[in-house]
Amino acid sequence: MHKPVLLREVLQIFQGLKIELFFEGTVGAGGHAEAILTEHPEIGRYFACDRDPVALQLAKERLKRWEKKVEWIHGDYADLPRYLDERGVHWIDGYLIDIGVSSMQIDSKERGFSFQGDAPLDMRMNPIGETTAEMLLNRLSEKELARIFFEYGEERRSRQAAKAIVEARKKKKIRTTAELVRILQPVIRSGGKIHPATRIFQALRIAVNDELGQLQLGVEGAIQRLQMGGRMAVISFHSLEDRIVKHAFRGEKQLKILTKKPVGPTAEECKANPRSRSAKLRAAEKFEE
Ligand SMILES: C[S@@+](CC[C@H](N)C(=O)[O-])C[C@H]1O[C@@H](n2cnc3c(N)ncnc32)[C@H](O)[C@@H]1O
């Protein structure tokens, strides 16, 4: 089961707040949702959004107890304003996103998020998305691939990796995760504990799912739709993501920042849940100028 990261810290952000309407943009397996709904029995409507239908199915099971309160939304959290408009709602009191890939997605080997095993290079969180990792790998220019690997994966050997991919695809289209790992192995040396392909897989996933574009739009939309006194929390896993959140918060006069520095996991949480290692929580409250 997916363990919700920084759970205690997220609950602290919303502690004492009277919440009528809550929007969670990345409900995943429903771990944070379960805790928030338990701590806040006053919640009237809980909008639970995820772009992955498999995640929504899992969350539905987990949140059965609150089926009268939870409204399911299959789609991108960046479309929050539209979802609210469609429901005749203007303001929300609470907002949470916990972005990135879930352990359930990584563990579903056939979806291509993992460099272990062999699967088609898919990596779409939403199966109706138009772009797959295979498309990017076989169509993008060497320069663009190198940029993605460097920026989204912080891969030092980004140019060498892009070159090896372009050479390989001249001979044969790259179709599977194992093929990609084989192409990367001679180029990227294993860096300590992490697998040599880790950063390239992360970069491709971010590009396939437009994760940075979603975050920018999503945070801006949430700030607009937050009620006076309402609070929002964002958990990110990558320095580029954290920078987007930090700037979006700082650029908004009506936001009081509740986390001077981003909040990370305790040593205990890192040990119990290695996925939490790079998690960073930022939170803010809206106030009247
Ligand atoms: C780390 S999991 C969330 C786990 C959840 N907080 C829990 O406690 O179970 C991240 C989820 O965000 C979803 N996701 C990522 N980007 C999204 C986006 N732009 N719009 C909607 N869902 C997204 C993924 O499909 C995944 O299910």
Which domain does 255 fall in, by range? 7-104+211-286
CATH number of the domain where residue 43 is located: 3.40.50.150
Nearest CA to ligand 1 atom 12: 26
Number of domains observed in the structure of the chain: 2
Helices (H) and strands (E) in the chain, counts: 13, 7
From residue 213, give the alpha-carbon distance in Å to each of 77, 78, 255, 285.
11, 9, 21, 23
Question: Domain for residue 121, yes or no?
Answer: no
Query: What's the rounded mean pLDDT across residues 5-12?
Result: 97
Asked if 12 and 96 sit in the same domain, the reply is: yes
Domain final residue, candidates 193, 208, 223: 208
Question: Domain for residue 117, yes or no?
Answer: no
Distance 51 CA to ligand 1 centre (A): 7
pLDDT tens-digit readout, 222-274: 999 999 999 999 999 999 999 999 999 998 999 999 999 999 999 999 999 98
Indicate the pLDDT class of residue 195, thresholds 50, 70 and 90: confident
Q: Is the CB of 212 under 6 A from ligand 1?
A: no
Domain final residue, candidates 191, 208, 225: 208
Q: Is the CB of 51 under 6 A from ligand 1?
A: yes
Asked whether the beta carbons of 230 and 254 are under 8 A apart, the reply is: no
Asked if 135 and 257 sit in the same domain, the reply is: no
Distance 49 CA to ligand 1 centre (A): 8
Asked if 56 and 177 sit in the same domain, the reply is: no
Asked if 100 and 220 sit in the same domain, the reply is: yes
Question: Domain for residue 1, yes or no?
Answer: no
Question: Domain for residue 2, yes or no?
Answer: no
Nearest CA to ligand 1 atom 1: 102
Output the pLDDT for position 157. Answer: 94
Please report where in the chains the tokens 């986390």 appear, as a residue.
Answer: 259
Asked if 200 and 256 sit in the same domain, the reply is: no
For residues 255 and 196, the model is more confident at 255
Domain final residue, candidates 171, 192, 208: 208
Q: Is the CB of 29 under 6 A from ligand 1?
A: yes
Q: Is the CB of 77 under 6 A from ligand 1?
A: yes
Distance 177 CA to ligand 1 centre (A): 22
Asked if 17 and 86 sit in the same domain, the reply is: yes
Asked if 230 and 171 sit in the same domain, the reply is: no
CA distance linking residue 228 with residue 235, whole number of Å: 22
With the most atoms of ligand 1 within 8 angstroms of its CB, the residue from 24, 26, 39 to mutate is 26
Type of residue at 39: E
With the most atoms of ligand 1 within 8 angstroms of its CB, the residue from 23, 125, 208, 212 to mutate is 125
> How is the beta sheet containing 45-50 ordered, strand by strand?
70-74, 45-50, 21-24, 92-98, 226-236, 280-286, 255-257
Asked if 204 and 239 sit in the same domain, the reply is: no
Q: Would the pTM of this model clear 0.85, i.e. be above it?
A: yes
Question: Domain for residue 147, yes or no?
Answer: yes
CATH number of the domain where residue 156 is located: 1.10.150.170
Query: What's the rounded mean pLDDT across residues 90-107?
Result: 93
pLDDT tens-digit readout, 134-187: 999 999 999 999 999 999 999 999 999 999 999 999 999 999 999 999 999 999
Asked if 282 and 154 sit in the same domain, the reply is: no
Angle at 156 between CA 210 and CA 149, to 5 degrees: 20
Please report where in the chains the tokens 């309407």 appear, as a residue.
Answer: 21
Asked if 225 and 251 sit in the same domain, the reply is: yes
Indicate the pLDDT class of residue 288, thresholds 50, 70 and 90: confident
| Token pair of 173 as six digits | 């289209």
Asked if 223 and 187 sit in the same domain, the reply is: no
Distance 76 CA to ligand 1 centre (A): 9
Asked if 218 and 200 sit in the same domain, the reply is: no
Question: Domain for residue 119, yes or no?
Answer: no
Distance 100 CA to ligand 1 centre (A): 6
Question: Domain for residue 139, yes or no?
Answer: yes
Nearest CA to ligand 1 atom 4: 28
Question: Domain for residue 115, yes or no?
Answer: no
